Each structure stands twice: as C-alpha cells, then as structure tokens.
Amino acid sequence: MCAMRAMILYDSATGNTEYLAKALGKAMPGVPCCRIGTLSIAETEALGAADRVYLGFWTDKGACSQRLREVLPGLAGKKVFLFGTAGFGAAEDYFAQIIERVRAELPQDCTVTGWYMCAGRMSEVIRLRYEEMLENPATKRKAQLLLANFDAVQAHPNADDAIALLEKAGV
C-alpha cells in the first residue's frame, strides 16, 4: 500500500490565505505547499499524483477566486480539505455559504473532508471608499456597518486562526 500523498495548493492576492497555507505547510513537513500560478513541472506532477489536497482560496464575489477555479478540474477523484479567508468575517453561516458555492464547483467525484474559513484583512483603499460613503446620508448607515466590519477583520488571519485551521484539518 502506498502512503497517502498530500499537497497544499492555494491562491492568495494579498497574503492572508498564504499565511494560513504556510501554517499548514509548517505543520506538515515534506508536503509541498504551492501557490497557484507558480507551479513547477515537478509540482504539477506532484499534484497529479496527490490523493489529498488542502485547497486554499480568498473570497471573490461570494465564492472562490477565479485563479482557484482554474485548477478545480485537475482535482477529480481527490480528497479535498477547503480553507479560505473572507473580508466579511463575522458569521459562520456566511462562511458555510461560501464553502457550499466552492464545493458545487468541484468535480463531482471529489470528497470534501472538511473546511475552515476565517476573516482576512482588506486593503486601506476599501476603507477610503467606505469613508466616502459616510458623507452621503443615503449610504451613511451602510458605511458605518462596513467600517465596523473592516476594522474588526484587520486582526485576521492571526495565530489563533492558524491554530483553529490545524485543528479542523486534523494536522
């Protein structure tokens, strides 16, 4: 019997998801930890041979990033643990909805073994946009909520999130 071959594969635009991926990588020495878009030929072969993939994504329009979508067909038949970060981080049921959308895009014969999501800080440019919305009475209330969320997620992902991820992933 062959040992299970694992791989960590992730997409990260600003480093939040990469932080989680690296925490996983550190906990699983010898398991390749690769950013999508930069895979070498050997890493692409390792992905083909892997039976267990830890798949990390950032949330774009309520689902996974486009770059992640591109690797999904290559995951047919594999066991997949999903992990991700999202800018709106207050509610576990919001995370569960995102995961369901990502799960629906996986090849049908993938087995999702579990998942973990946490909040991920957003760029200051977004805060400036919210501040502009404060000036307009029609968007002021919404802007206050968005600013409160923006400030709350600035502390994530952090070491506690990484620990929670490792627990969920069972590593």
Ligand X SMILES: Cc1cc2nc3c(=O)[nH]c(=O)nc-3n(C[C@H](O)[C@H](O)[C@H](O)COP(=O)(O)O)c2cc1C
Residue from 2, 37, 61, 93 that binds ligand X (CB under 6 A)? 61
Torsion sign (Cα): 90, 111, 42, 170:
positive
Is the CB of 13 or the CB of 49 nearer to ligand X?
13
Beta strands in the chain (DSSP E): 6-10, 33-35, 52-60, 63-64, 79-86, 111-119
Return the residue matching tokens 């329009």: 61
Is residue 52 within 8 A of residue 79, CB to CB? The reply is yes
Q: What is the DSSP letter of 75?
A: G
Residue 156 Cβ, how far from ligand X at the closest point, in Å? 8
What are the backbone dihedrals phi and psi of residue 70, each rounded to the nearest 5 degrees, phi first?
-65, -25
CB of 28 vs ligand X, minimal distance in Å: 19
For residues 152 and 141, what is the distance between their CA atoms, to the nearest angstrom? Answer: 17
Q: Which of 6, 12, 24, 116 binds ligand X (CB under 6 A)?
A: 12
* Nearest to ligand X of 123, 136 (CB atom): 123
- Residue of 24, 33, 59, 64 that binds ligand X (CB under 6 A): 59
Taking residues 65 to 104 in sequence order and writing x for each that binds ligand X by CB under 6 A, - otherwise, the string is: --------------------xxxx----------------
Q: Which residues bind ligand X (CB under 6 A)?
A: 12-18, 58-62, 85-88, 120, 122
